[in-house]
Structure 1
């Protein structure tokens, strides 16, 4: 990555707006300015507390293999900024990233009321996909749904994973508030598929009827095997490269969405694509001796899903969890779940201004080991008889990947 591109990314990331409540209008104005018309493009919107990235990956893999030109927008990234914008399952090139960063930053310079980082990033992705003349766009929600700036266009299909309490300070204060925000991506006459808990079913269906929309709840498919993960859905058998019990829901949601919006895509294509799909940081094995897994879990619901998968996949292994946590996260619930399967929990730091108060966490959980120096914590990965789990923040995973030497 060139110095100039790095500086452009930094400039984008520093952009803030003095009037956050006006975010939707600013993005709609930008869409009008760039004359972005998506009426002839299939559009899929993906929301939910956990699993959005995996669902987007499955969809992208299937549609690309089926011969469609696919634009995918996801966030955040693990190693490089380019991961946020994909064309046919490949990262946007540095050359294109530079070009579109310059376009969107120049546009922002003309405004009296400046746009924020994520607003600009969203419009940049829209503009890039339009210029590339894609057939399909797959857009992951940033936070929530209803008031997220990705919700400024109309979609052909809405997919919602689960409903949890992450970002409750912005979306809450209650679970119903969060639910309303997530299902807000469903618009009048729209269609949604979801794997959320059935306790929400009556509420969501009532909401859909009020706007003349339809909602389909997707059940967990029948599992045949743990590793590789195999399952049956509507009489068809599938195998996943990704592991983890939660991938059953994610894959089933993607399959249902594809079958609805692209009924012409054959089972063989879907099956092959799912078997090829890999999404970094989702119970991902990055080292064999000792075994090191990365998982992007960072909230209570993800920690529960992670714990369930660990107990199934590694029932007799000694797990050492190395974690770092950002401010505002429910670390009590997160660490409580990790304690149920971890032989040791080591908490460490990494350079991020949003890093949580590690001393406070150590006080609340005296048995965890606080090793603030990241390199010192890495030295604890030294026993081939143990399995190491790196988790707690996707940003921490990215830092680990960029600094861990095999």
Structure 2
């Protein structure tokens, strides 16, 4: 079994929270996570968008970046970005080989995500990136990425997700995500709900971590249409006016604000990360399948919303649509369908390929009597959706990264959609 085959075999072992395995793996490579400056971001939604914008800012300032994100859309390499581009196959296989012999003898075996995390740190250490930007996988306190002392960290927002692991209240979920906060390390907080915010601030106070809160220490305004947004930002030390955003959707305003607040915290470490670099990064940032229009005639939009909170934000951006929905097995089908109902002129339910898909019968059962059409796979769902869509009735494909990735492949191959760009 090759190192890459071994990695994919670990997907069968599911989720395991805890730091023992990742700590053992990283020792094999002499703790690469300690060798480069890091930034750590947790939260229910928006983590990837925050880091995509911060990545673009740092590169605009002349710095080399590494970014670890998940899941991937099409290729595994997308999880490991150097200067915004996925690592090549040779580099990925080389880094996997570093950990392969130790991993296959561990008991219990590491998870797929633990191996990917180790590979990311090794990749960024070898490339000697100026900043390694690390996205939490799930929660924070016992997430495999939580083996670093970053220059700064951020918590984007708190909503219900993975309740069987993180807890069944916003306060409990916030406690787990606040586990990334380290003594004395600045934390940017974009969450504004009272219950989770209180928990996060209490943890920051306990650790002497300076906290910078949206609505208190920095704020923003967003104007314009979803695909032509302008962003205004204010803090005690920085003012930005009417900056065009590279990312789309008004919900990206809070993510942009968090990324700018992080950039402010990092300024003493990266002098080139000045106002000009911040503005350039906001303009140039790209993050595929986040309210992304991939075809124009008829309009086809892909978004990775996979929970009720994300679906509500998505619905707020759009008018009536033909909606194609496929979810992972552990997602709240009823909640997502309810959130999308106000814009779903036609609702097409389907499933993506692979063992993580929510079965079509189960997803249809979650529709709770709402009118819908079933399609056996995404290919059929997209064909049906395109036949119903028009210039004034876009096709929206959503449900998560697995849905978005497979849909992009279909649209590029069969309908000449725009190719994937980071």
Give TM-score scaled by structure 1 length: 0.92
Pair 1:378 & 2:373 matched: no
The corresponding residue for 2:420 is: none
Q: Distance in 2 between matches of 1:394 and 1:73?
A: 15
Counterpart in the other structure of 2:356 = 354
Partners of 2:300 and 2:17 in 1: CA distance: 44
Q: Aligned to 1:397, which of 396, 401, 404? A: 404
Larger displacement relative to structure 2 (249-258 or 260-269): 260-269
Asked whether 1:329 is paired with 2:331, we answer yes
Task: Give 3-state SS (helix, strand or coil) of 1:294's partner.
Answer: strand
CA contact (8 A) 1:23 1:115 kept: no
Cα distance per residue 1:198-248 (max 9 Å; x no partner):
413333222221222221112351123234110211231221122111110
Q: Evaluate the alpha carbon distance shift between residue 28 and residue 67 of structure 1 in structure 2; reply closer, same or farther with a 3 A threshold.
A: same
Shift of 1:30: 2.4
C-alpha separation between the residues in 1 aligned to 2:346 and 2:352? 19
Change (3 A) 1:221 1:399: same
Give the corresponding residue for 1:242: 247
| Partner in structure 2 of residue 209 of structure 1 | 205
Aligned-residue Cα RMSD (Å) equals 2.1
Per-residue displacement from partner, 1:269-321 (whole Å, max 9, x unpaired)?
Answer: 111111111100100010010100000000011011111122xxxx4xx4100
Deviation sequence 1:321-341 (CA, Å, 0-9, x none): 011112121111111111111
Structure 2 unaligned regions, length at least 5:
416-422
> For the residues of structure 2 that align with 1:56 and 1:239, how far apart are their CA atoms?
18
After TM superposition, list the pairs within 5 Å mapping 1:4-23 onto structure 2: 8-15=3-10, 23=18
Aligned mates of 2:32, 2:282 — CA distance in 1: 31
Match of 2:307 in 1: 299
Q: Secondary structure at the match of 1:377?
A: helix
How far the C-alpha of 1:115 sits from its partner, in A, is: 1.7
Q: 2:25 touches 2:103 (CA, 8 Å); kept in 1?
A: no
Gaps of 5+ in 1: none
Give, in whole Å, the separation in 2 of the partners of 1:359 and 1:193.
42
Contact 1:17–1:115 (8 Å) recurs in 2:
no
Counterpart CA distance in 2 for 1:168 and 1:373 is 28
Deviation string for 1:148-197 (max 9, x for gaps)? 01001211211111101111122113222211001110022222101112
Q: Which of 276, 289, 298 in structure 2 is aligned with 1:290? A: 298
Q: C-alpha distance in 2, partners of 1:21/1:129?
A: 24
Between 45-54 and 198-207, report the one with greater CA deviation: 198-207
Task: Spell out, residue by residue over 1:21-44, the C-alpha distance to the aligned partner (whole angstroms, 9 max, x if none).
Answer: 684122122223311255563210
2:119 to 113, 116, 124: 124
Q: Where does structure 1 differ by over 6 angstroms across 4 or more consecutive aligned residues?
A: 16-22
Distance 1:245 1:224, change over 3 A: closer
Deviates more, 1:39-48 or 1:389-398: 39-48
Q: Deviations over 1:93-112 (max 9, x none)?
A: 11101111222222313445
Counterpart in 2 of 1:258? 263
Cα offset, 1:90, TM superposition: 1.2
Which stretch of the first structure deviates more once superposed, 79-88 or 236-245?
A: 236-245
Partner SS state of residue 166, structure 1: coil
Aligned to 2:317: 309
Contact 1:16 1:114 in 2 (8 A): no
Whether 1:56 aligns to 2:51 is yes
TM-superposition CA deviations, 1:245-267 (whole Å, max 9, x none): 11101111001101111253221
The Cα of 1:89 is off from its aligned counterpart by 1.2
| Matched residue, 2:419 | none
Please report how far the alpha carbon of residue 113 of structure 1 lies from its aligned counterpart in structure 2 after TM superposition. Answer: 4.2
CA distance in 2, matches of 1:277, 1:88: 12
1:388 is aligned, of 369, 372, 395, to 395
> Contact 2:348–2:373 (CA<8 Å) still a contact in 1?
yes
Work out whether 1:342 is the aligned partner of 2:338.
no
Instruction: Specify whether residues 297 and 121 from structure 1 end up closer, same or farther in structure 2 by C-alpha distance, changes over 3 A only.
Output: same
In structure 2, distance between residues paired with 1:70 and 1:250 = 19
